[in-house]
A = this chain, B = another copy of it.
Amino acid sequence: MSNLKEIKSITIIGNGNVAWHYYNIMHQQKLDVKCVSAREDIKEEDLSKDLIIIAVKDKVIEQVARKIANRTSILVHTSGSTNIETLKDKSINYGVFYPLQTLTKGLELDFSQVPLCIEANNEYTLLHLKSLAEKLSSKVYEISSNQRFYLHLAAVFACNFPNHLFGISKEILAKEDIPFDIIFPLIDQTIEKIKHNNPFDIQTGPAIRQENSIMANHKSKLDKDQREIYEVLSNKIINKQR
């Protein structure tokens, strides 16, 4: 293994969003990359690569890693919420190769802007992962397992949850035959503002102004699920101010 100069051959195990995007960008970078499903019979030749990327659901990472019982390759997972030590004893060189981005199979994006968060169990592995990551993206960060956990948690609040709220917003407008894009400048400006201010300092809307009759009117037009979200978030906005 000490002969390895840089990572050139890669097996990706998984068939989800991350596997799709890693395969896509590595293939574009002319790397020798192959993608195999975790449920397939993984062949010995797939395991004799410089790097094996386990890109499966968190709860089966350890199970897949055990199946591989790899001896020589660098072994990484791609999870935001799984500790690096989950791969301990599955290889002497292991780490994490986590893309801090919302990835959807088939939807290409500028991968050079995807923050890649890497972690490794030793210097040898770290250098190799870093070198590979820098080929794929201009945003490479060394992030510990503990930091990565909080990053992932912060991403749930900054992306997964807002995405659902955007869905509700679109649904509300569609009912009144109003195109969703009328609201895009407002969304863009909201994003621009949070990049330069503490969001709590620039909160707007009926909750922060405690306009109770507007909030009551709003709630009267929402379905049960929408109303529950409206109530919780409005209350939290009001509480935060106190």
* A147-200 contacts to B (CB < 8 Å): 147, 149-170, 172-173, 175-176, 178, 181-195, 197-200
Contact check, A178 vs B150: say whether CB atoms are below 8 A apart: yes
Q: Which residues of B contact A159 (CB under 8 A)?
A: 183, 186-187, 190, 204-205
Are A153 and B100 in contact, with the CB atoms below 8 A?
no
Question: A81 and B169: CB pair below 8 A?
Answer: no
Number of copies of this chain in the oligomer?
A: 2
Residues of chain B within 8 A (CB-CB) of A185 are 100-101, 113-115, 139
- Are B155 and A186 in contact, with the CB atoms below 8 A? yes
- Structural contact, A206 and B156, CB atoms closer than 8 A: yes
A195 to B183, CA, bound (A): 10
Q: Determine, out of A4-12, A24-32, A128-136, A224-232, the stretch whose residues face the partner at the interface.
A: A224-232
* Residues of B with C-beta under 8 A to A139: 185
> Which residues of A pack against B, CB within 8 Å?
17, 57-59, 81, 100-104, 107, 109, 113-115, 139, 141, 143, 146-147, 149-170, 172-173, 175-176, 178, 181-195, 197-200, 202-209, 211, 213-214, 217-218, 221-222, 225-226, 228-230, 232-233, 236-237, 239-240
Q: List 29 A-B contacts (CB under 8 A).
A: A59-B211, A81-B214, A100-B183, A100-B185, A102-B190, A102-B204, A103-B204, A115-B182, A115-B186, A139-B185, A150-B172, A150-B176, A151-B176, A151-B178, A153-B172, A154-B169, A154-B183, A155-B183, A155-B205, A156-B207, A156-B218, A160-B206, A160-B207, A160-B237, A163-B204, A164-B240, A167-B198, A170-B199, A181-B195
